Homo-oligomer: A and B are copies of this chain.
Amino acid sequence: MRLSEQSQHIAVEKGQLLFVHSSVADRFFIIFNGWIKLFRETLDGAQAVIDVLTTGHFFGEASIFQEGVYPYSAEAAESSELLSLPLSLLKTEIETNPKLAMAMLSSIAQQGSKQNRELEHRTLQNAPQRIGCFILRLADQQQSGPTAVHLPYDKNLVAARLGMQAETFSRALSKLKQETGININGATIEMNDISQLRDYSCSACSSEFPCKDLTEKSRYSS
C-alpha cells in the first residue's frame, strides 16, 4: 500500500492548529479520535465555524480540487489523534483506483448533503430549534423514555458550530428548556422523552425523524 507507507500518526492538543486557510496544501487528515474544528476568519478576527468533525472523518482532502490550498483552517477542539497522508498520493490513487474514487465521491457528496441540511436549518429553524436539532442528533433516536445526552465539546464551540453568538445561544437554550422541559446539568442534557424535542425542532425541518443519515458510523458527525 503506497498510501499507508507515507502516512504519519500524529497527536495534537486542544487548541493546536493543523493548517491555516489559504496555505499550500500538501497533506490531508483522517481523525482516529478527538474533535477537529474547521473554520475561517476575516482579517479583523471574526470567526465562522464551518464544521466540527470526529472519528472516521477526513478533512483537507478537497484541497486537491482547489488550486492546492486549504479552503479553511483546522484546529484541535479537543486532544485528538490523526493520520496524516500526502495529497499527491491521494490524487494518483484516485486516478488509478476507481473504487477509491467512488469512496471519495461518496464521502464528499455526504459532506455536501450535510451542508445542505445546515443551510436549510439556518433558513427555517429558529435558534432554540437549531439547538434542539443538535441535541437530537446526538441522542439515540430509536429510544423512548428518560434519556441523557452529553455535549461532545464545550458550549462556546457548540454555539459557534450553530452560527450563534454566545449570548444568543444562552437565550435560545433557556427558551428551549422552557418549551420542551429538558434539564441541563453542566454538559449533560436530560429529558423525559426525546419526543418533546422532536415535536419542537423537527417541525421546521424538511426531513423525517429519525434522521436517515445517522448511521452508527457517522453518528457524531454533526
Contact = CB atoms under 8 A, between A and B. Distances in A.
Given A94-B102, A101-B98, A102-B95, A112 B108 contact: yes
Number of identical protomers:
2
A20 to B, nearest CB: 11
A119 to B, nearest CB: 6
B112 A62 contact: yes
Count class of interface residues, chain A: 35 or more
A50 interface: yes
Interface in A82-109: 94-96, 98-99, 101-102, 104-106, 108-109
Interface in A33-52: 40-44, 46, 48-50
A118 B98 CA distance: 31
A22 B209 CA distance: 14
Contact of A98 (B44, B65, B94, B212): B94
A120 B204 contact: no
B66 A113 contact: yes
Contact of A109 (B106, B108, B110): B108
